[in-house]
């Protein structure tokens, strides 16, 4: 047996405190290392009857070979005679198995070298698994990190504790200056296993970050009283949020805004002053479309198609509300479309009247042509 003393336990306990790696991992790694070293020593890596036994009380560890007790030994590596076996244990019988210590006298130095290599590898594997498990459990949630740097591809590298996360360029807020040392809150998009530490992909542009922020700031959402039905976001510019109350006594929009706008202001600040429209969800499609196009005032909504293949609506607004309903570069109607999943065509009141007038003229002209054809037919 090799005396390893208390140093191993002290190292294992320190490792457990610093990195959360169990002491059993270190002991198991040492045992595997000794088995591997012994197989190399005897030049037989396929031997399967070799194990290590560790005596925690004495602090000793040794290599043992399991052999079967036989009458006539044919293989010295796997068999032992009854006479030799009884010298180890008087109670053994034929066909019993006995463990025989085979630790070489000069094995300490060889074992130490092998053990160091295997233990280092096991510690890395255990550390990688701990980090992987931790961040897999955080996938789809918000975490806080510190900006480290920007790489040559424009990705922002963020330290999130036990590893660094990557925020790709497309997941960053437009125009945001990510300075080294800045503390940022990010959404965990994905976790990929690699040969080293897991690769964590985070985002500040994903729409789900808005949901997470509202769940943090609005107790009614966390409790399930108020429900977020849909989110449409153009990161850094504007978000539309459709909410619904499962309790008639609770105002879904008011709950999200908070007393004197305190809740919404906290979220807007977190999103770098991104504009947020909170609209009331409705199972009635017309009402929902009207709410989604806020703050524009709507005159009428005409459902053109509503089936499994298509949802289309024509919306009429006052002339002075057309630009507000469409929004800058079509942003308001685009977000309303994504929020409601309805294709929305917006027309001003005067344009709609003109189209209706033209349609009336076309119908009248068509009628006159029909009458002319009828008269011609009668004359013939």
Please give the pLDDT value at position 358: 63
301-315 pLDDT, tens digit each: 999 999 888 999 999
Choice among 94-103, 216-225, 356-365 with the minimum mean pLDDT: 356-365
Mean pLDDT of 6-10: 62
Q: What is the mean pLDDT of the chain?
A: 84
Express as a percent the part of the chain with pLDDT over 70. 85
- Predicted confidence band at 370 (pLDDT cuts at 50, 70, 90)? very low
Choice among 13-22, 242-251, 274-283 with the minimum mean pLDDT: 13-22
Q: Is the pLDDT of residue 3 over 80?
A: no
More confident: 69 or 311: 311
Burial class (CB within 10 angstroms; exposed 0-12, middle 13-18, buried 19+) of 194: exposed
More confident: 189 or 4: 189
Q: Is the pLDDT of residue 368 over 80?
A: no
Task: Report, at the CATH architecture level, how domain 2-134 is classified.
Answer: 2-Layer Sandwich (3.30)
Closest of 115, 120, 102, 124 to residue 30, by C-alpha: 115
Please give the pLDDT value at position 180: 92
This prediction's pTM: 0.65
Please give the pLDDT value at position 373: 45
Please give the pLDDT value at position 243: 97
Domain ranges of the chain: 2-134, 138-203, 282-380
- Predicted confidence band at 361 (pLDDT cuts at 50, 70, 90)? very low
More confident: 153 or 134: 153
- The token duo for 294 is 């806020």
Return the CATH number of 282-380, one of 3.40.50.880, 3.40.50.2000, 3.30.300.20, 3.50.50.60.
Answer: 3.30.300.20
Q: Is the pLDDT of residue 30 over 80?
A: no
Return the CATH number of 138-203, one of 2.40.50.140, 1.10.10.10, 2.40.30.10, 3.40.720.10.
Answer: 2.40.50.140
């Amino acid at each position: 047996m090799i005396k390893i003393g208390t140093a191993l336990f002290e190292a294992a306990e320190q490792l457990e405190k610093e990195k959360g790696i169990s002491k059993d991992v270190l002991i198991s790694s040492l045992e595997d290392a000794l088995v591997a070293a012994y197989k190399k020593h005897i030049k037989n890596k396929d031997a399967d009857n070799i194990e290590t036994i560790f005596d925690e009380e004495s602090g000793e560890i040794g290599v043992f070979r399991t052999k079967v007790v036989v009458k006539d030994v044919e293989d010295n590596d796997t068999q032992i005679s009854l006479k030799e076996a009884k010298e180890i244990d008087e109670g053994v019988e034929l066909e019993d198995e006995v463990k025989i210590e085979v630790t070489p006298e000069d094995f300490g130095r060889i074992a130490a070298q092998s053990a160091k290599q295997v233990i280092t590898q096991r510690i890395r594997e255990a550390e990688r698994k701990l980090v992987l498990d931790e961040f897999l459990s955080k996938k789809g949630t918000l975490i806080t990190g510190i900006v480290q740097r920007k790489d040559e591809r424009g990705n922002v590298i963020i330290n999130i504790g036990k590893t660094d996360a990557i925020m790709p360029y497309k997941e960053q807020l437009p125009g945001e200056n990510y300075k080294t040392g800045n503390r940022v809150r990010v959404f965990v998009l994905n976790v990929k296993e690699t040969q080293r530490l897991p690769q964590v992909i985070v985002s500040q542009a994903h729409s789900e970050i808005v949901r997470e922020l509202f769940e943090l700031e609005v107790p009614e959402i966390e409790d399930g009283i108020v429900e977020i039905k849909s989110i449409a976001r153009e990161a850094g510019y504007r978000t539309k949020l459709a909410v619904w109350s499962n309790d008639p006594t609770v105002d879904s929009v008011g709950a999200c805004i908070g007393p004197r706008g305190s809740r919404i202001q906290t979220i807007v600040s977190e999103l770098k002053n991104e504009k947020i429209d909170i609209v009331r969800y409705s199972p009635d499609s017309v009402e929902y479309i009207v709410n989604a196009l806020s703050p524009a005032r709507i005159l009428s909504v005409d459902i053109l198609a509503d089936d499994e293949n298509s949802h289309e609506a024509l919306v009429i607004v006052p002339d002075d509300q057309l630009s507000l309903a469409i929004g800058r570069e079509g942003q308001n109607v685009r977000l309303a479309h994504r929020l409601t999943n309805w294709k929305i065509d917006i027309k001003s009141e005067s344009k709609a009247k003109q189209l209706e007038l033209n349609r009336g003229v076309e119908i009248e002209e068509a009628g006159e042509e029909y009458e002319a054809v009828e008269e011609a037919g009668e004359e013939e």
